Amino acid sequence: MSESTKRFSSRRTFLKATGSIAASSALAGTAIPTVHAGEDNTIRIALIGCGGRGTGAAVNALSVKNGPIKLVAMADIFDYKLAGSYKRLKKHFPNQVDVPEDRRFIGFDAYKKAMDCLKPGDVAIFATYPAFRWVHFTYAIQKGLNVFMEKPVTVDGPTTRRMLKLAEQSEKKNLKVGVGLMIRHCRGRQELHKRIRDGEIGDIIMMRAYRMSGPISSFRSKKKPEGISELLWQIKRSVSFLWASGGCFNDFYIHQIDECSWMKGAWPVRAKASGGRHYRDEWIDQNFDTYSVEYTYADGTKLFFYGRCMSGCYFQFASYAHGTKGAAIVTTARHTPGRVRTFKGHNMTPDELIWAFPQPEQNPYQLEWDDLITAIREDTSYNEVKRGAEASLVSSMGRMAAHTGRVITFDQMLNCEHEFAPDVDKLTMDSPAPLPAGPDGKYPVPQPGIITDREY
């Protein structure tokens, strides 16, 4: 394993770090408003998507300490993922995991069966691939369920438009919805955001962000092996396929695009970019190995983003903001700890330090769950769907700019008619994959300057 891979922070590594949480964390109940159904004050959870991210989210949920919480249903497409997740969660939370075999569901309709085990006001965790996010969220709204959904929440223009409409519906029903952009819940970044708004580094004039590591997750894939359908292979290797995940750009890079835009207080209005595929050998995924994007905000301010997934190269995982009076570190080397700081100059040396958030920090993966459950119990306004959809759209905007070789605006991305998987809500175990392979077993890849009105 490369050093860059070892250092790469994700919910999977957070899960490992929290695996020793004691199962005795089930606590006595507290008063709860009518927004949550259940006279015994227990919030019931259904986990939909039982991979590393989903299991990590369940760990966070079961670790909230402001009242009793139980996991009562689980769903996935792959039975081995559900079985592994159940075993791990039951081991560490034996009194909070109540999921007998008849509440463990496999298949494309498993999400409905899991949510049917809940009552209005309970919580559904959506940690499947983002292609399915709008499908699952539609059903949750019908059921009156609060939701935690992983990022990204959309992968293209049509699904973003759909999700924005669903956001409005969920707000009208007073549903509490968290989106897994956990940096927004980091107390250090929240304090940094306040200091920037108060003028500590002056007006932001430029930002830059780096996500450079070796290949991780299912970033690259080889031809489908025997013994698995094309559809299930693409879902299993989701980061390799744009329809399932938005590719590595949306799945990996959305966090830093979001955190920088948060510090700026706006979304960029256009993007121009470049990228390429290198040393591909037998890899058949749709990703570029390198991406360089210049995002422009309405006032002309720039965010320069650099992404790379290549072995043997310089590792960097950081975000910076430069202002008229100084600079700030938004992310130092990984999602957590952020170790945010402000400086009176742009060299960001110790002698220029203005302020640093005290260490150690609380983990934002846990804080986002603490905040969501508190909002449910206290019935306060809490809905992150619109922001999550917009962050996903801005990520897609940069990706499309690189994949087409054109300048792409926010509105162009939002109104783009290329839907990667228009019938994803109709998939069954026997369905063909949304992305057919060619006779050589390879898949269509972006061709900048050649295909310019869509990404492949």
Question: DSSP per residue over 183-222, as a string?
Answer: GGG-HHHHHHHHHHHTTTT-SEEEEEEEEEES--TTSS--
Is the per-residue pLDDT at 9 higher than 90?
no
pLDDT value for 297 = 98
Is the per-residue pLDDT at 107 higher than 80?
yes
Examine residue 354 and state whether it is found in any structural domain, yes or no.
yes
Work out the pLDDT band at 6, boundaries 50, 70, 90: very low
Is the per-residue pLDDT at 34 higher than 90?
no
pLDDT value for 441 = 83
Examine residue 443 and state whether it is found in any structural domain, yes or no.
no
Among 25-29, 237-241, 354-358, 371-375, the minimum mean pLDDT is found in 25-29
pLDDT, tens digit, 9 for 90 and up, residues 352-386: 999 999 999 999 999 999 999 999 999 999 999 99
pLDDT value for 19 = 42
In 3-state terms, what secondary structure has residue 380? coil
Examine residue 454 and state whether it is found in any structural domain, yes or no.
no
Residues 95 and 195 in one domain: no
Work out the pLDDT band at 225, boundaries 50, 70, 90: very high
CA atoms within 13 A on the CB side of 246: 32
Residues 248 and 158 in one domain: no
Enumerate the β-bridge partners of residue 320.
208, 329
Residues 122 and 196 in one domain: no
Examine residue 264 and state whether it is found in any structural domain, yes or no.
yes
pLDDT value for 262 = 98
CATH number of residue 126's parent domain: 3.40.50.720
pLDDT value for 43 = 98
pLDDT, tens digit, 9 for 90 and up, residues 36-60: 444 589 999 999 999 999 999 999 9
Work out the pLDDT band at 294, boundaries 50, 70, 90: very high
- Rounded to an integer, the average pLDDT of 411-431 is 97
Residues 178 and 230 in one domain: no
> Which pTM value belongs to this model?
0.91
Work out the pLDDT band at 35, boundaries 50, 70, 90: very low
Residues 356 and 371 in one domain: no
- Rounded to an integer, the average pLDDT of 387-411 is 98
Closest CA to 135 of 102, 118, 106, 110: 110
Angstrom CA distances, 31 to 27, 35, 67, 151, 221, stand at 13, 12, 9, 31, 50
CATH number of residue 416's parent domain: 3.30.360.10
Residues 170 and 194 in one domain: no
Domain that holds residue 298: 186-362+392-426
Examine residue 451 and state whether it is found in any structural domain, yes or no.
no
Examine residue 321 and state whether it is found in any structural domain, yes or no.
yes
Residues 249 and 314 in one domain: yes
In 3-state terms, what secondary structure has residue 136? helix
Residues 321 and 257 in one domain: yes
Domain total for the chain?
2
Residues 396 and 313 in one domain: yes
Residues 161 and 222 in one domain: no
Is the per-residue pLDDT at 3 higher than 90?
no
Examine residue 20 and state whether it is found in any structural domain, yes or no.
yes
**How far apart are alpha carbons 434 and 438 in whole angstroms?**
13
Residues 191 and 317 in one domain: yes
Side by side, the strands of the sheet bearing 146-149 are 104-106, 69-76, 43-48, 123-126, 146-149, 177-179
pLDDT, tens digit, 9 for 90 and up, residues 163-198: 999 999 999 999 999 999 999 999 999 999 999 999
Per the model's pLDDT, the better-predicted residue between 162 and 10 turns out to be 162
Is the per-residue pLDDT at 248 higher than 90?
yes
Instruction: Annotate 220-245 with b (16+ C-beta within 10 A) or e (fewer).
Output: bbeebeeeeebbebbbbbbbbbbbbb
pLDDT value for 12 = 41
Examine residue 239 and state whether it is found in any structural domain, yes or no.
yes
Residues 197 and 123 in one domain: no
Closest CA to 369 of 31, 82, 69: 69
- Rounded to an integer, the average pLDDT of 269-274 is 98
pLDDT value for 387 = 98
- Rounded to an integer, the average pLDDT of 381-401 is 98
Is the per-residue pLDDT at 14 higher than 80?
no
